[in-house]
Structure 1
Amino acid sequence: MHFKKWIMIIPLVSTLLLSGCSVLERFVYRIDIAQGNYVEQPDVDKLRIGMTKEQVRFVMGSPMLIQNGYPDTWYYIYNFTHGHDDTVQKDFQVTFDEMSQTLTKASGDFKLSPDFNTPLQ
């Protein structure tokens, strides 16, 4: 009779212990992981149509990606994972004119400055 009680208790206890593992996982330390180009709105606000590649690189830094065959489109990609939280990704892309090698377009997760279409003097 005593043996039958233990047979019924063992599955119950093991289920409770195993379900607690997911709760304990929340207390395990996980490092923050930052990858790519950290872009800020003040940097994007400095961009102007007609800037050279060197000027854009000075303001924004080196791009994360320049595709083979498309050297006039630069991609700035930033990916951040904070411990147990969801990943945040920000993308920004600049495009240069093939002939003049100057900035013609920019788009992505940041707003362009109202002065973007005003060329530098």
Structure 2
Amino acid sequence: MKARLLTVFMTSSLLLTGCSVVNFLTPHKLDIPQGNEITANQVELLRVGMTRAQVRFVLGTPLLTDPFHKDRWDYIFRDSRAGVVRESHDFKVFFNDNSLVRWEGSYFPAPKTNQVEKTKPLPPESNLMSMPINPGDPNSKDVEVKPLLKEGS
């Protein structure tokens, strides 16, 4: 009797501890940012009165078009790492019929200018060595055009 009771107790305790092991065996979650990345440069291009097609060209296709709010598009961005949301932006665009009325929400700031671009050398000024030569142009003063055949030969 004690052996059966001990076997039942050991089996049930092993099964119950197996349930707690499941928390350690979770699948790996990929760190993939999802949604629309709306930047400050894109928001600067928005103008009141733009059509839906123009807004779609500037911002892209909205992540959510709610059937209950047909005059509102939602651009949502979520960046989660290991199941924890690190960054979240919600941007909403409102229409009246087919024209843009207003927009609101958070978006990515304008990207900082790269220091390399600031120190990039300017292109050289007009230089005869880099100018294309057109020998067929009779108005060219820099290139002497010689005929292939002499006259009278």
Shorter-chain TM-score tier: 0.5 to 0.7
Matched, 1:102 2:99: yes
In structure 1, runs of 5+ residues without a counterpart are 1-24, 112-121
Q: Which has the higher contact order (CA 8 A, sep 6+)?
A: 1
Secondary structure in 1 matching 2:42: helix
2-side partners of 1:72 and 1:50: how far apart?
Answer: 13
Q: Which stretch shows the higher mean deviation, 80-89 or 42-51?
A: 80-89
In structure 2, runs of 5+ residues without a counterpart are 1-23, 109-153
TM normalised by structure 2 equals 0.48
Q: Which residue of 2 aligns with 1:114?
A: none
Q: Which residue of 2 aligns with 1:82?
A: 81
Amino acid at match of 1:53: R
Q: What root-mean-square deviation, in Å, do the aligned CA atoms of Structure 1 and Structure 2 show?
A: 2.2
User: What is the count of residue pairs matched by the alignment?
Assistant: 82
User: How far off is 1:85 after superposition?
Assistant: 6.2
Query: Sequence identity, in percent?
Result: 35
TM normalised by structure 1 equals 0.59
Matched, 1:49 2:66: no
Change (3 A) 1:96 1:84: closer
- CA deviations 1:75-117 (Å, max 9, x no partner) are 000001235864211000000013xx10001000149xxxxxx
Which ranges of 4 or more aligned residues in structure 1 deviate by more than 3 Å?
A: 82-86
